Every structure is written in structure tokens, then in C-alpha cells.
Structure 1
Amino acid sequence: MQELKDRVRPVTDKDKGLPTFSYSKIEVFKNCPLQYKFKYMDKKYSQDTSIALELGSLCHYVLETKGKMIASGQAVDYDKLNNILQNGVTETDEKTKEELLGVVQLRRKYFEVWHEADNASGASYEEKIKLFDKVLHEEMEDTTWQPTYFEKPFEFIWDNKVILKGFIDRIDVKDGQYRTVDYKTSKKIYDQSKLATSLQFGIYALAILNEFGELPIESQYRFILIDDEQYALTKGWEKRLIKALDKVFGDIEASENKNLFIPKPTPLCHWCNFCTTNPEATIYKNECEYYSKWTPTQKTFEVNKKWNALENNNTEKKRKLVF
């Protein structure tokens, strides 16, 4: 733990010029540097949304509301929670800066896909909402851990180089020890390879260390639409996390210095706001030429255009001469 303590410290006024990263920003670069360039370098922010994003935000909010009831010593008002779930909230959500639609509105908005079974869990959104109701009544009922912090904001300096910031869905406390919980609305649980050195939970652990002086003893992914869970950060994760962060920030720095952001076409392209196959994409849907042609109904390894390193290096050089 000492090596982590040596690399983590609070943010001061002198640090405000340092580059700022969230876990999601880092993950975008790891998945596709070109998408990272479009979004964070070119500032092409999209307001595109999807049923998965909107339903995920709604379910997060409902669980957060239940957690705050428990933490404040109130009896859980399931009528209120169900009303939020069905009808949404009109006040602006702190994270999304938007109102949250309820199931009634989402069912109408996404009627074409609402009753379709997904290709991983085999369940439709109608079935998932019924399962979520079960999760809602069972979650945070274990009195061993006390749910204490919800949508907990954090900000700290990593290695005197970058500011890491974000929100933690939930932090539980037990006898002065901490557990971080992240709600997922994924169709299936993760491969084991993603759990051993979870970058997301590694960053959350550093945030706990920075604020409370201790590392969490548990890190739990809670899959709230399929009622499952997984634990992350296996033995030795601290050293592996340091290597992973050093590598990704080194790769980002090299890409920015060279102005070279190489695309990584995968099935994830189908959900990218810069990809023409994404049915929810709008203003930037034709931005990328190098996308995978994979779709849920056409599973293929084909790409629209192959990356040519020589061609693109020449393009970047010409741009530098112009500017």
C-alpha cells in the first residue's frame, strides 16, 4: 500500500493546470484512441442517448434513493421508489444534468425494442424491469455492511501528473473498513480477465485511500438487471494497477505528442456515437471511416476501411504544416 500512498495525494490550487481524467475517459482511449480523439481532443460531444443509458440512469437513481433512506435511518418507502421507477423524476439529475424518464415513458419512447430479448441474457426490458423490482427489495438489506455514501464524488492527484476524478455509485462501511459497489446494467457478467486488475475499481480504491487513508477490502460489481454480482481486484492488484496506469497514460501522451490516434474497430463500434451502424447516433454518425461492420444481426469481422499507417502519418504531417 505504501507505493500507492506515495503516488496519491489531494488536489491543490497549483494542480489545476494538470490534465484531468475519469475512468470512462481512460476506457474510451483503451477501447479506441480515434474515438478518444473525436470526443476529447476535437470536442465533438454528442447528446445521443439510448434505452440502455436512460434505463441505467433511472435504476441507479432509484437505488441511490433507497440507499439514502437507509443511511438516514428512515423506513424504506417502496411506494415512492416504485413511483420514481415508473414515472421518472422531473428534477435535474446531478450527473446527467437531465430529467430522468420513467419506465412508462421509456416503454413508449423505445417501443420497437422494449419487448425484444437481448442476445446475451435472453430477457427483454420488460422482463428485466420485473427482475429489477426483486433486486430493489433485496439490495442493501444485509446489515453486515452499512451503505453510507452514494454517488460519492472524488478527485485526487496520481503520480504528480494527472487529476483523476469521478463518482462512486456506493460505498459501504463495516467496522472502519470500506467496500465499493458499482451498479451495472449489462446484459451479462464480465470475463474473469476484466476482474483481476479492474481499472475502474483500482481508481475507486485510490480515491478511498486518498480520502480515508485505507484501501477498500471489497470491490463489487452489482448487475442490477440480471441479478448477479462479481468481485474485483484479486491478490497483487496494487502493483498491476500501477503498471496499467503508467502504460495507459504513457500511451495517451505518446498519441497526443504525435497527433496519431489509431482506430480499433471491434463490435463496440455499433454503440459508438461516431459510427454509422449505431441506430441511436445522429450528428456525428458518419465521422469515422474505420468502423467494424459488426451488428447484433450481422456478426462479421469486416471493417469499412482499413487503417493505413503511412497514409495517415502523411495526413498528420500535412495538417501540422497547415496549422
Structure 2
Amino acid sequence: MDDQPPAAEPPRRPALSPSRASDFKQCPLLYRFRAVDRLPEVPTREQVRGTLVHSVLERLFSLPQAERVPGRAKELLRPVWTELSSGRPEWTDLFPGDDPGELHGWLESAERLVDAYFQLEDPRRLDPEACELHVETELGSGVLLRGYIDRLDVAPTGEIRVVDYKTGAAPRQIGEAKAMFQMKFYAVVLWRLRGVVPKQLKLMYLTDGQALAYTPDEAELVRFERTLEAIWQAILRAGRTGDFRPSPSKLCDWCSHQSRCPSFGGTPPEYPGWPEPDPGDESILDRAD
């Protein structure tokens, strides 16, 4: 019998993720740079720290409930950092080798975020259904939604809680608006997948040790679903023409692409055309923001 080469996986359809939808709402040109041109971005220490803390909390919930204590969580920090940074020189380059104190201080700041988590809840009392859960659904209009949920709690009665950890330092008002957009996105996906409107959307802000809880209703999710459909149609229109316009705001201060942005005297690269197979993926840094 002749050996046959493995069949190539069919390309995934383009999808909308919460981060990419938020990018387009914030600035269509930013969406283009990230999803179409896929330009590299130098990560910040804050972004990488967020990824590390998210990964530690994910590993924490894989431990027996009795072991989910602060000391055990902090023991995970260095091995998880070693694992995550392996093969990612752009991460390790954030900490020059001639000053090991910088990495030590950065890990201590991650420890403080982990400690703050334990001030908000006791993980020994929780039994999540999933952590870092990949979710995907297609709306009736044909729009494909895709993303990752930090944590999904399901009560014995079937009630669903979506939990998201926030470690970033974005301006609070803008940051909360973006975070709630993300949470409603997940609520729509879960509602369409399971036929149940999540009972609670919970944001846990580890920098200041505060939590924000919100209860959506079905009518609100119907309206939000229409918003997502409108965003996707606007993306497709821009994709056909290449007309992704900049939208200057306070968030430009955090943008990696000012040198290419017309609002700052730059020139975008030549438009490469609508990407295939899929511009919807979120990076590991997106998921930790």
C-alpha cells in the first residue's frame, strides 16, 4: 500500500474575535495592521506579565482544591515563566542579562497580582468547568465568532458565570468599556452554543483588587449580536477596498504603529488584500489583556 501524504487541513473561515472586534471599533487601521498586515508588535512587560499571571491561575485550577493556596500559586510563577518564555526571545529580551534584578523585580510584581487574586475569592471553594476555554459559534447571519474565555463556572443548577482576569494598566474608563464589550461577546457565544444566557459576567481587576459583576439579559444580547454583525459587515466592506481609516484617540499613546499611521505623519504599507485563511485569531497576549 502506497504511503499517502496527510491531507491538508481545510483553511478556517475568517472569524471575529473580541480583541479584533475591539480593534476595529477603536481604530479600523489598527485592525488592518494586526489582522490583515499582521505586523509584529514588540510586547511590553505589562502584557507579558498579564500572560504569566493568567497562566499561573489556569495551572492553579488544575491542582487539587486543597492545594490552591497563595504559596503554591507563587511557586508556579518561575517555572511557568521559564516555560512561556522558551522560544520567545522577544520576551526574554525585555530583561537584559546584565541586570538580573530587573527580572526579579518584575516577577515580584506578578506575585503581588497573584496575591490580589486571593483577596477576591478562595479558589479552594470553586470547581470551574473550564479555564482558557476555546469557544466558537456561527450566528444566523453567517458571522463566525471565536474566542477564549479565562474561566467558566457552571452551578449545579445550570447557571453560568463567565470570569475574566484583568492585569493591564489601560485608562480605567476606557479599559472597562473594552472589557465589558469582550464579556458580552462571550455571553453571546455561550448563549448561542448552550441556549442559556449567562447569569453573571465577572471582571476581576488584580491591580487594585476590585471585582465588577454584571448580569446581561436576552434582549441585550440580541442587540449586541446585531452590533457584532454590523462590525463584521463594516470589516468586510473595508477589506474589499482596503479603506481602513485611522481613528485617533487617547489610546494612540499605547499603539505600536504610530510610525505607519497617517495621523502621525506615517505611511501604511501597501494593502496586501483580504487575508486568508483567517484574520480572527487572538494571540496569547490578547487573551491576557
Shared fold (TM-score, shorter chain, > 0.5): yes
Name which of 77, 85, 98 aligns with 1:85: 77
Q: Displacement, 1:134?
A: 3.0
- Equivalent residue, structure 2, for 1:137: 118
Amino acid at match of 2:261: C
Contact 1:54 1:100 in 2 (8 A): no
Alignment-derived partner of residue 261 in structure 1: 244
8 Å CA contact 1:201–1:233 kept in 2: the answer is no
What's the RMSD between the two structures over aligned residues? 4.0
C-alpha separation in 1, matches of 2:132 and 2:51: 12
Structure of higher CA gyration radius? 1
Deviation at 1:127, TM superposition (A): 8.7
Q: Select the residue among 209, 220, 234 that pairs with 2:191.
A: 209
Alignment of 1:148 onto 2:143: no
Alpha-carbon displacement from aligned partner over 1:15-49 (angstroms, at most 9, x marks no partner): 966321211111111111112122222232x1511
CA distance in 1, matches of 2:110, 2:81: 17
Instruction: Give the CA deviation at 1:141.
Output: 1.4
Which stretch has the larger CA shift, 205-214 or 216-225?
A: 205-214
Aligned positions of 1:68-107 closer than 5 A? 68-69=62-63, 72-76=64-68, 78-86=70-78, 88-92=80-84, 98=88
Cα deviation 1:104-146 (Å, max 9, x = unaligned) = x69958959x99xxxxxxxxx7995464243243454177753
1:138 to 1:106, Cα distance in 2 relative to 1, 3 A? farther
One of 18, 30, 37 as aligned partner of 1:35: 30
- Aligned equivalents of 2:125 and 2:90: distance in 1? 32
2:19 maps to which residue? 24
Which residue number corresponds to residue 282 of structure 1? none
The 1:85–1:142 alpha-carbon spacing in structure 2 relative to 1, beyond 3 Å, is closer
Distance 1:172 1:248, change over 3 A: same
In 1, Cα distance between the equivalents of 2:45 and 2:239? Answer: 33
Q: 2:143 aligns with which of 162, 180, 188?
A: 162
Is the alpha carbon distance of 1:92 and 1:194 closer, same or farther for their aligned partners in structure 2, counting shifts above 3 Å? closer
Is 2:200 aligned against 1:218? Answer: yes
Task: Determine which of 53, 57, 61 is the counterpart of 1:63.
Answer: 57
- Deviating more after overlay: 172-181 vs 266-275: 266-275
Given the alignment of the two structures, is residue 288 of structure 1 paired with residue 261 of structure 2, yes or no? yes
Could you list the per-position Cα deviations for residues 228-273 of structure 1 after superposition, in whole angstroms to 9, with x for gaps in the alignment?
Answer: 1112354542232023113212221222233211101122122222
TM-score, L = length of structure 1: 0.65
CA drift at 1:289: 2.9
Looking at structure 2, the residues matched to 262 and 30 of structure 1 have their Cα atoms a distance apart, in angstroms, of 11
Task: Work out whether residues 202 and 233 of structure 1, in 8 Å CA contact, stay in contact via their aligned partners in 2.
Answer: no
What letter corresponds to residue 207 of structure 1 in structure 2? Answer: V
Tell whether the 8 Å contact from 1:274 to 1:288 is kept in structure 2 after alignment. Answer: yes
1:250 aligns with 2:242: no
**CA distance in 2 between partners of 1:111 and 1:131 (Å):** 16
Contact 2:74 2:111 in 1 (8 A): no
Shift of the 243–233 alpha-carbon distance from structure 1 to 2, 3 Å rule, reads farther
Q: What is aligned with 1:174? A: 155
Q: Which stretches in structure 1 are left out of the alignment for 5+ residues?
A: 1-14, 116-124, 276-285, 292-303
Number of aligned residue pairs: 258
Q: 1:106 to 1:186 in 2, by over 3 A?
A: farther
Q: Secondary structure at the match of 2:197?
A: coil
Higher helix share: 2
Do the aligned residues in 2 keep the contact of 1:32 with 1:263 (CA within 8 Å)? yes
How many Å separate the matches in 1 of 2:82 and 2:176? 40
Equivalent residues of 2:61, 2:123 under 8 A apart: no
Match of residue 237 from structure 1: 220
Contact 1:184–1:223 (8 Å) recurs in 2 = yes
Q: Give 1:223 shift.
A: 0.6
Q: 2:180 aligns with which of 195, 198, 202?
A: 198
**SS across alignment from 2:260:** coil
**CA distance in 2 between partners of 1:110 and 1:271 (Å):** 26
Q: Distance in 2 between matches of 1:189 and 1:74?
A: 34
Per the alignment, residue 54 of structure 1 pairs with: 48
Q: In structure 1, the residue corresponding to 2:263 is in which secondary structure?
A: coil
